Amino acid sequence: MLAWGPIVPRRIKLPARYQVLITRTGRAPFSFSFSPLAPLFFLLTLVLWGGLTFYLLRSAERAQALEAEVRALSHQVRELSGALVEKEQENQALAEKAAEMLERLDAFETELKALRKRAGLKVEEKKAQDEPLGAGRPADTGELFAALEARIQAMQKELKGEVAPALDRTLKREAATPRGWPLRVRSYIASGFGVRKNPFGRGYEFHDGVDLPAWYGTRIYATAPGRVVEAGWSRIFGRYVKIDHGYGYQTLYGHMSRIAVRRGQYVKRGQVIGYVGSTGRSTGPHVHYSVYVRGRAVDPRPYLSWRVAGR
Site residues (vs Zn ion, CB under 5 A): 211, 288
Nearest CA among 271, 265, 242 for reference residue 254: 242
Give least dist CB 255 to Zn ion, A: 7
Between 144 and 183, CB nearer to Zn ion: 183
Give least dist CB 201 to Zn ion, A: 16
H-helix or E-strand spanning residue 88 = helix 37-118
**To the nearest 5 percent, what fractions of the chain are helix, strand and coil?**
40, 25, 35
3-state SS, residue 232: strand
The DSSP symbol for 127 reads: P
Between 161 and 199, CB nearer to Zn ion: 199
| Residue 296 bridge partners (DSSP) | 293
**Contact status, residue 264 vs residue 277, Cβ threshold 8 Å:** no
Q: At what angle do helices 37-118 and 164-176 cross, to 10 degrees?
A: 20
Between 252 and 259, CB nearer to Zn ion: 252
CB-based burial label for 41 (10 Å; 0-12, 13-18, 19+): exposed
Between 98 and 279, CB nearer to Zn ion: 279
Give least dist CB 264 to Zn ion, A: 25
Give least dist CB 252 to Zn ion, A: 10
Give least dist CB 280 to Zn ion, A: 9
Give least dist CB 240 to Zn ion, A: 11
Which residue lies nearest Zn ion, judged by its C-beta?
Answer: 288
**Contact status, residue 193 vs residue 299, Cβ threshold 8 Å:** yes
Give least dist CB 288 to Zn ion, A: 3
**Contact status, residue 308 vs residue 249, Cβ threshold 8 Å:** no
Between 95 and 220, CB nearer to Zn ion: 220
3-state SS, residue 309: coil
Report how far residue 211's alpha carbon sits from residue 301's, in angstroms, rounded to the nearest whole number: 11
Between 95 and 237, CB nearer to Zn ion: 237
Between 191 and 271, CB nearer to Zn ion: 191
**Contact status, residue 310 vs residue 269, Cβ threshold 8 Å:** yes
Give least dist CB 198 to Zn ion, A: 12
CA distances from 246 to 77, 93, 118, 172, 250 (A): 75, 54, 20, 9, 7
CA distances from 86 to 90, 119, 138 (A): 6, 48, 20
Between 113 and 281, CB nearer to Zn ion: 281
Report how far residue 266's alpha carbon sits from residue 224's, in angstroms, rounded to the nearest whole number: 11
